[in-house]
Amino acid sequence: MSGAAAQALPDDFMYLREVAPTIRQDIRYAGGNNFVGRRLPGYEAAECIVKRPVAEALARVQQDLARQGLSLKMYDCYRPVRAVQAMVAWSRDGAETPAQHAYNPAFRKADLFRLGYIAERSGHSTGAAVDLTLVRQDAPAAAPFDPNRLYGDCTADAARRAPDDAIDMGTGYDCSDLKAHTAAAGITPAQRRWRQLLVAAMARQGFVNYAKEWWHFSLRGAGGGAYDFPIVRAR
């Protein structure tokens, strides 16, 4: 990666690949495999961009997990403000479709804002928050996502959900449901152990989990103002 690419980013932001190239990336909002069902504004490339301290801390987590044959897998990193605004608009547009409802099977999407699953401001826009999971290093790539197929909802058994090569944590990513709460009841002992392993590995490097989303973590002290620059491919 060229120095020019890094210098094109504001302040202390960087591409995660620069310091942790072995971390898998599946940036969902750069495509259609997400709760909105389309690429969000500002996601011009499927790249993980974060503040430098966040990237360095994630690299240390990755080193720790590698000893266990595991890897991190990123679902989302820095999120432009314009994408957050698109999420809020989606939650208020009054439309309910089966594909969208797969991510919030127990709630109307109009309730997601009130229940704390969607917010007008996101820590992702500061470059300090990330969405991620665990994957075995030797796991084969998942089957391609088929936008024309109606998969099981995010609380269904892993085999019925949209394809993912990650370890089964009990729900899919971006699942707005009580079952996705990190300490939720109703998941298997194995799924609970995997969640606890992820939280512990992240906590050792200063990350704090959001209790309503097992995949969401923020690095203490790395926040700040929100940004709206687009995510583009590193040159």
Residue 143 placed within a domain: yes
Domain presence at residue 92: yes
Is 185 part of any domain?
Answer: yes
- State the total domains in the chain: 1
User: Quick one: pLDDT at residue 51?
Assistant: 97
Q: Is the pLDDT of residue 2 over 70?
A: no
Q: What share of the chain is helix, strand, coil (3-state, %, to 5)?
A: 30, 15, 55
Q: Which distant-in-sequence residues (6+ apart) come within 8 Å of 43 by Cβ?
A: 27, 29, 30, 80, 83, 230, 231
Mean pLDDT of 95-117: 81
Is 170 domain-assigned? Answer: yes
**pLDDT tens across 136-189, in order?**
999 999 999 999 898 999 999 999 999 999 999 999 999 999 999 999 999 999
**Which residues form the domain of 164?**
3-219
The pLDDT, as a whole number, for residue 19 is 97
pLDDT for residue 110: 79
Please check the confidence at residue 5 and state whether its pLDDT lies above 70: no
User: In the numeric block, which tokens belong to residue 211?
Assistant: 């209790």
Residue 126 CB neighbour total at 10 angstroms: 21
Q: What percent of the chain has pLDDT over 90?
A: 77
**Which CATH number fits the domain that encloses residue 19?**
3.30.1380.10
The predicted structure's pLDDT at residue 101? 84
**Count of positions (residues) in the chain:** 235
Query: Within a domain: residue 224?
Result: no
Give domain status of residue 233, yes or no.
Answer: no
Q: Output the average pLDDT for the chain.
A: 92
In a domain, 225, yes or no: no
Does the pLDDT at position 6 exceed 50? no
Q: Residue 175: inside a domain, yes or no?
A: yes
